[in-house]
Amino acid sequence: MNHNEHTEPRIYELGYHLVPTLAEEQIPGASGAVRGMIERISKGIIAEELPVFIDLAYTIVKTVDHKNKRFDEAYFGWIKFEGTPSGIAELEEGLKKDENVLRYLVVKTIRENTFIAKKFTGAKVKEVEEAPVAEEAVEEVQSEEVLDKAIEELVK
Amino acid sequence: MKKNTQCYFTTNNVKLIDYKDVDILKKFLTPHARMIGGGRTGVCAKHQRQLASAIKRSRFMGLLPFVAK
């Protein structure tokens, strides 16, 4: 096995929440700080979405100065970039220290766009279920007609 | 009636299931926010593994709930 393969650059994606106590004007600054951390360790940023204000599915608790703070909302943004495993460790160190970052997640991903919600708007699982059934019914009718004709020809 | 055995992600040619695709992930959760098994939804084993990771990542990031009443 090649032990050097782990040092090769890989595609990563960082998803992060910024604390909702920041004002709208402070968001570009806070997300710029996160972006700066990535630019320091990365060879290139592939895709990015700036933080947007969202309601969280549950309350996230963050300890600030030995006090638990509860957050029901946050600014969620993500950045896709090329990086190395050692760079990721460095990035995580920086994110832990950043007080504006409520929570973050670094995942391995692929260069292509993985976000399919916009591509398949209105595509439902049920529609996929129903389509093949209708086709089969038509085929059955056709095959019956073919059979009838074949039988008639045989009788003649 | 014949049961649907087509995997949703295979038919849509999805290479990697994204944890940010909350609307898609929600289709594979019960009203209590529990994951539905691949046998019930027709998702193939390869994509069911990816789907499980995506849902768990999404829960950690607060995009999906761990429990819903």
The CATH number of whichever domain residue B36 belongs to comes to 4.10.640.10
Same-domain status, A27 and A83? yes
Q: Is the dihedral of CA A78, A81, A85, A87 positive or negative?
A: negative
> pLDDT tens across A21-49, in order?
988 889 999 999 999 999 998 888 999 99
Which H or E run contains A155?
A: helix A125-155
Residue A116, chain B, CB below 8 Å: the answer is yes
Residue of A nearest to B57 (CA): A105
Question: Total domain count for chain B?
Answer: 1
Same-domain status, A16 and A61? yes
Structural domain that includes position B56: 8-60
Confirm whether A20 is domain-assigned: yes
Global pTM?
A: 0.75
Most A CBs within 10 A among B61, B64, B66, hence the mutation to make, goes to B61
Confirm whether A104 is domain-assigned: yes
Confirm whether A39 is domain-assigned: yes
> pLDDT tens across A111-156, in order?
888 777 655 444 444 444 444 444 555 555 566 777 677 777 767 6
Residue B25 to chain A, least CA–CA distance (Å) = 10
Confirm whether B67 is domain-assigned: no
pLDDT tens for chain B, 69 residues long, are 445 568 999 998 898 999 999 999 999 999 999 999 999 999 999 999 999 999 999 999 999 999 987
Which H or E run contains B48?
A: helix B45-60
**ipTM confidence score:** 0.83
As a whole number of angstroms, the distance between CA A111 and CA A102 comes to 26
Same-domain status, A59 and A24? yes
Confirm whether A119 is domain-assigned: no
Same-domain status, A101 and A146? no
Structural domain that includes position A100: 3-108
B2, B11, B19 member nearest A128 (Cβ): B11
A17, A78, A136 member nearest B20 (Cβ): A78
Interior CA angle at A41 toward A54 and B60, to 5°?
30
Confirm whether B2 is domain-assigned: no
Confirm whether A76 is domain-assigned: yes
* Residue matched to tokens 């979405």: A49
